[in-house]
Structure 1
Amino acid sequence: MSFQEVWEKEPMKKPRIQKVTVNFGVGEAGDRLTIGAKVIETLTGQAPVRTLAKQTNPAFGIRKKLPIGLKVTLRGKNAEEFLENAFVAFKVSGKVLYASSFDKVGNFSFGVPEHIDFPGQKYDPTVGIYGMDICVTFEKPGYRVKSRKLKRSHIPAKHLVKKEEAIEYIEKKFGAEVVME
């Protein structure tokens, strides 16, 4: 029995996207960071949060607590719309999504090397080119029991999202090709 048949029979077992985290590692503060904030805001439709350096690294001119990156967390329909565009950009760049990108509970990450690969984006010499890391987190209905305030409980192992389920979900929902190694 395939996962698709199980999901139709038991909707509580169908995985869904909990969140999509988009990370821009700019590496420096200043103009490049503010331009990157505008780029990520146009791609996602949300204002980014600045990420700070954890350590000082004089070789790169980075001090502790200096803003060096940006991140945005998307949920719901915004996350799905962004993922559709991200997979288009991923295919345009000629990259392949490997099964090893998925962890044992179905979450996965991939990178888009150039933001201009997204639909509707054009190269602008004043902006430059930014790459990004995209992390997708899955859940199933009922995961709230592990984070609620009252009567908190654990998720049983049989209700966790499996790697194979996440791969099938991504292939069916977004038409992405996942290569087994």
Structure 2
Amino acid sequence: MKAIRVEKVVLNIGVGKAGEPHEKARKVLQELTGQKPAARAARESIRDFGVHEGEPIGVIVTLRKAKAIEVLKRILAARDNKVNTRSFDNNGNFSFGVKEHIEVPGIRYNPDIGIFGFDVSVVLGRPGRRVSSRKRARSKVGLSHRITKEEAVAFAQKHLGIEAVE
């Protein structure tokens, strides 16, 4: 009941503008995950950057279960399985970035698309964590059932083969 597992892996590319770069970023995530990415719209207009509210400026894809672990291991190989310990938060989640998507094994450079970097966020949880996020009969997760930073680092090292660096 207290076994830690990967709840989800979220990949995000913040392009910053709509149009052709947005479509290219969509193709990158599609190729990387085999799943259709969702567009993320700007929450507010920023005149200096030429961004308008509601305009799609990013793409995101959420992976769960076995597919999440498989894609995560491929992405970690691009970083030599190294993640900084400061990337782990106090709730047992961790995030890191990849500067170029072509560093991921199995991805080839396509001159029509170019090179994109992306962010990866991994959410860890235990069975029963859903009580804090469901709509009906919501309650808090007890302190003994929450994941600490040390537990998250130990899980990542043992099950994902991550080398935690300072």
Q: Aligning the two structures, in what range does the TM-score lie when normalised by the shorter sequence?
A: over 0.9
Percent of pairs with identical residues = 43
Distance in 2 between residues matched to 1:147 and 1:125, nearest whole Å: 42
Structure 2 residue 4 is matched with structure 1 residue 15 = yes
Q: Which residue of 2 aligns with 1:91?
A: 80
Q: Which residue of 2 aligns with 1:134?
A: 120
Structure 2 residue 141 is matched with structure 1 residue 152 = no
Q: Is there any run of 5+ residues in structure 2 with no aligned partner, and where?
A: none
Distance change (3 Å), C-alpha of 1:38 and 1:143: same
Distance in 2 between residues matched to 1:59 and 1:145, nearest whole Å: 43
Give the residue type in structure 1 aligned to 2:142.
P
Q: Which residue of 1 aligns with 2:154?
A: 168
- Alignment of structure 1 residues 13-162 onto 2, 5 Å: 13-91=2-80, 96-162=82-148
Distance change (3 Å), C-alpha of 1:150 and 1:60: closer
TM-score where L is the length of structure 1: 0.86
Distance in 1 between residues matched to 2:28 and 2:134, nearest whole Å: 35
Per the TM alignment, residue 58 of structure 1 is displaced from its structure 2 partner at its CA by: 2.1
Give the residue type in structure 1 aligned to 2:149.
K
Per the TM alignment, residue 175 of structure 1 is displaced from its structure 2 partner at its CA by: 1.3
Distance in 1 between residues matched to 2:57 and 2:129, nearest whole Å: 33
TM-score where L is the length of structure 2: 0.93
Distance in 2 between residues matched to 1:151 and 1:56, nearest whole Å: 37
Cα RMSD (Å) of the superposition? 1.5
Q: Is there any run of 5+ residues in structure 1 with no aligned partner, and where?
A: 1-11
